[in-house]
Amino acid sequence: MTETTRRPETARPLSPHLQIYRLTLTMVMSIVHRATGAVLYVGTLLLAWWLLAIASGPNAYLTFQSVAGSWIGRLVLFGYTWALIHHMLGGIRHFLWDLGYGFGAAEREWLARATLFGSIALTLLLWIFAYLVTGGLR
């Protein structure tokens, strides 16, 4: 009796788990959605710094611009733009699901691809546009 009651404990069904299920695109996109959210969270420090620098005066703004305009700064801002757009498109995907659409296997895959390629394309277009219009960060 004791053996039969103990055995099921190890054989209980598990919730979705990274080491149990083969990695799929939709799964990766779910993880990336959360990861980009966490990155955006920390990145709001940059937004606050930018706004406070402008409010503080020309010298503080110059300091911000020199950091943001460095190649590391540009790389971070580029990554941040992608995280923002990816999270936004991922959010729109979640709206569709909330409304009851897009649950089919083919639709799920299509939405995952659209989010990924859409975010990359939009980020590149936005930066090209920004450089053309403003001459980029100075």
Partner 1 sequence: MSERGPHMRTPLGRVRGLGSAKAGTQHFWHQRLTAVANVPLVIAGLIIVISLAGRNHAAAAQILGSPLIAVVMLLFIVSVSYHMRLGMQVIIEDYVHEERIKLVLVMLNAFFSIAVALASAFAVLKLSFGV
- Least separation in angstroms between residue 5's CB and partner 1 is 26
In 3-state terms the chain splits into helix, strand, coil percentages (rounded to 5) of 80, 0, 20
- Residue 28 or 62: the one with the smaller Cβ distance to partner 1 is 62
> Amino acid identity, residue 113?
R
In the complex, the residues that contact partner 1 under the rule CB under 8 A are 34, 37-38, 40-41, 44-45, 47-48, 51-52, 54-55, 57-58, 61-62, 81, 84, 88, 91-92, 94-95, 98, 126, 129-130, 133-138
- Least separation in angstroms between residue 56's CB and partner 1 is 8
- Least separation in angstroms between residue 8's CB and partner 1 is 23
Chain centre distance of CA 113: 14
- Residue 28 or 51: the one with the smaller Cβ distance to partner 1 is 51
- Residue 110 or 129: the one with the smaller Cβ distance to partner 1 is 129
Those residues with Cβ within 8 angstroms of residue 85's Cβ, 6 or more apart along the chain or in another chain: 118, 119, 122, 123, 126
- Residue 84 or 112: the one with the smaller Cβ distance to partner 1 is 84
Mutual angle of helices 105-134 and 71-98, in 10-degree steps: 140
Q: Which of 50, 111, 47, 122 is nearest to 82 (CA)?
A: 122
- Least separation in angstroms between residue 14's CB and partner 1 is 16
